[in-house]
Structure 1
C-alpha cells in the first residue's frame, strides 16, 4: 500500500488512473510479478502481488518512480508524491490470499461517507466502482490481462460462473460482516497461521523489522547462482567458463534461468558473462523467440526447470 504525501490525492482524474494501470502492467512484465488484486482510491492504492523472484523492492521502486515522474510532469509539480516508503505485508497464500483480495476490493465502501449507508446500497456502490480488479472477478468481459484470477477463484470453484458467483456472494457477506484483516496481522508485517509465522520468523530473522536486509538477499542470490550453474553443468557438461566462451542458446538459457529462478538482475548477469545488461535483455528475448520454434531447446529448458523445481532455491 502507498498513500499520498500529506494524504493528498495521487489521482486527479481518470487519465491518471489509466496511466497508473499502464505503468503497473509494464512493471509486472519486467519483474515477472503476479498481480492478484488492486484498488485505486483518491489518496492511496493497494496491490496484492506475488513475487516469485523475491524482487518486491525493485518492482515497487521502478513502478513508483515511473508513476511519480508522469504525475509531476502532467500536473507541473515537483517533490514527493507518496508518504514515505510503501507498506507491505507478507501473506500466507493458501490460507489468506482470498481474504486479502476481498479486503482490498472492499476499500471503495470502507470510507467515512458510507459508514451509515445500508448494506444493499454499499453493494450497489461497490459494483459501480470501476477502479479495482473486482469487476474482472465477477464478469468475464471485464477481465484484465495483467490480473491473475485463478488462484483466488480456486477457493470458490475456479474460473467458472459458479466460482465467480460464489466470490460475489462472499463479497456481499464481507460487507455485512465488516471484514477485518488488520487485527490478524503479526508484527505489522505477516498475515498467516501460527506455523507459517513461526517458519518465516525462523528462516528470515529480519522479517517484521522496519527495513529489509539486502545483504541476506545478495547471499541468497549468490547461492542460487551456484545451484543453477551446477545443474546446467550436470545436464549439459558445460561449466561457467564454457558458457562465457560459447555464444548461443545454452548461454541464453543460463541467463534466463539465473534471472527467473535465481533472482539475479540484468547488470549482475551481465557482469557474470562479461556483457552489458542491455545485451542480457536482448539475449533473453532471442531465447523466447527460439523457444517457440526449437523443440530441442524447449526440452533442455524443461529438463533444467524440473531439476530446479526439486531443489530448495
Structure 2
C-alpha cells in the first residue's frame, strides 16, 4: 500500500478524517460517542492541539485542527489507538477498527479555515438518507445534530471546552450574538446552494492558494518518491499564473487572445492547466469562458493532434520543460 503524504510543521492546519474498516460503524451508541469526545478533549490538551471543529458520523469522523508543535502523527497515533482499545474491550473484539491510516489534508489557514469549518459541519446532511429531505428539514436536522461542534458555534450555551471558536467566528464578526447568527446564516446558505471544495484539493493532500501550494511543494516535498504518489502529483503542480505566463510567451499571444481562440492554442491552454496546474475541467471552463464539456472535448482533440503533429508535440514539450 502506498504511503499517504504526511507534511508536519509547527502551526500546520489539517482536515483529518478516519473511516471504519470495511466502512463499518465505529460508534454503536451514544456511550461510544461520549468516550470518543472525552478522549479527544484529553488528547488536544495533552498534545497542545487547537481543535476548531469536529463531526461524528456512524462510520467515520472529521476533525479540523491545528498543531502548534507540529505533532499531528504523534497525536493521531495515540488517539486512534486509545479509542480502538476502548472499542475492542467493550465489544470483546480484536484487530483494526479503522480502514487503513487516517487521511489528513494540509490546509492554508488564512484562505480556508472558516470555509472548511462550514464544509465539515454540513456532513450530517450530506448522506443518502438526507439527500431528498427538504431544505427546512436539513437545516432543522443540522441545528439539532448532537455529535457536531456546530451547536457551540450557533449557541453559546452549548459550547465545548476543547473547541477554539474564536478564530473561525472572527470572519463573521467575532464571538458575539451577531457573529453566531451570521455563521448560521452562512451554513443555511451552504445547505441551499451546496458547498463542495473537494475539487480544490491538490494531489488529494493540500488545500490552499497557488502561493501556499508552491511554498509547501518547494519546502517540504522530496524531489522523488516512489512510495508516495501524492508527492508526484503535487510536485508537478504549477500555479496557474506560471502556466499562463509560459504559455503566452511560447505562443506569442496574451491570455485574453488565447481565450478568444477556438482552435489548437485554446486547447493547449485547457490541457496544460489541467495536467500541469491541477485545475478541474469546471475551473478551467470558468477561467476561459466555456463549459466543462468543451474543456474535455478540447483536451481530447489536442491529444489526438499531438500524436500526428510534431510541431505541436515539440511546443507542448517546451512548455512542459519550462514548467518542470
Q: TM-score when scaled to structure 1?
A: 0.66
Aligned equivalent of 1:72, options 66, 88, 91: 88
> Is it true that 1:13 corresponds to 2:13 in the alignment?
no
Matches of residues 66-215 of structure 1 in structure 2 within 5 Å?
66-206=82-222, 210=228
SS for the counterpart of 1:95 is helix
> Is it true that 1:34 corresponds to 2:53 in the alignment?
no
How far has the Cα of 1:211 moved from its partner? 8.9
1:148-184 deviation line (CA, Å, top 9, x unaligned): 0011000000000110000000000011111001111
How far has the Cα of 1:212 moved from its partner? 11
Matches of residues 149-298 of structure 1 in structure 2 within 5 Å?
149-206=165-222, 210=228
Which 4+ runs in 1 deviate beyond 4 A? 206-209
Q: In the alignment, what sits opposite 2:275?
A: none
1:46-96 deviation line (CA, Å, top 9, x unaligned): 000100111000000000000000000011111100000000001110110
Q: Distance in 2 between matches of 1:177 and 1:159?
A: 25
Q: Are the aligned partners of 2:153 and 2:180 in contact in 1 as well (CA < 8 Å)?
A: yes
SS for the counterpart of 2:51 is strand
Q: In the alignment, what sits opposite 1:291?
A: none
> Is it true that 1:2 corresponds to 2:2 in the alignment?
no
How far has the Cα of 1:30 moved from its partner? 1.0
Q: Are the aligned partners of 1:153 and 1:164 in contact in 2 as well (CA < 8 Å)?
A: yes
How many residue pairs are counted as aligned between the two chains?
213
Aligned equivalent of 1:45, options 39, 47, 61: 61
Structure 1 vs Structure 2 CA RMSD: 1.8
1:3-49 deviation line (CA, Å, top 9, x unaligned): 00000000000000000001111111111000000000000000001
The change in CA–CA distance for 1:181 and 1:212 in structure 2 (over 3 A counts) is closer
Q: Distance in 2 between matches of 1:144 and 1:117?
A: 29
Aligned equivalent of 1:24, options 40, 47, 62: 40
Q: Distance in 2 between matches of 1:174 and 1:92?
A: 21
SS for the counterpart of 1:114 is coil
Q: Distance in 2 between matches of 1:192 and 1:9?
A: 32
Unaligned runs of 5+ in 1: 214-313
Q: Are the aligned partners of 2:36 and 2:83 in contact in 1 as well (CA < 8 Å)?
A: yes
Q: Are the aligned partners of 1:119 and 1:176 in contact in 2 as well (CA < 8 Å)?
A: yes
Q: Are the aligned partners of 2:203 and 2:230 in contact in 1 as well (CA < 8 Å)?
A: no
How far has the Cα of 1:120 moved from its partner? 1.1
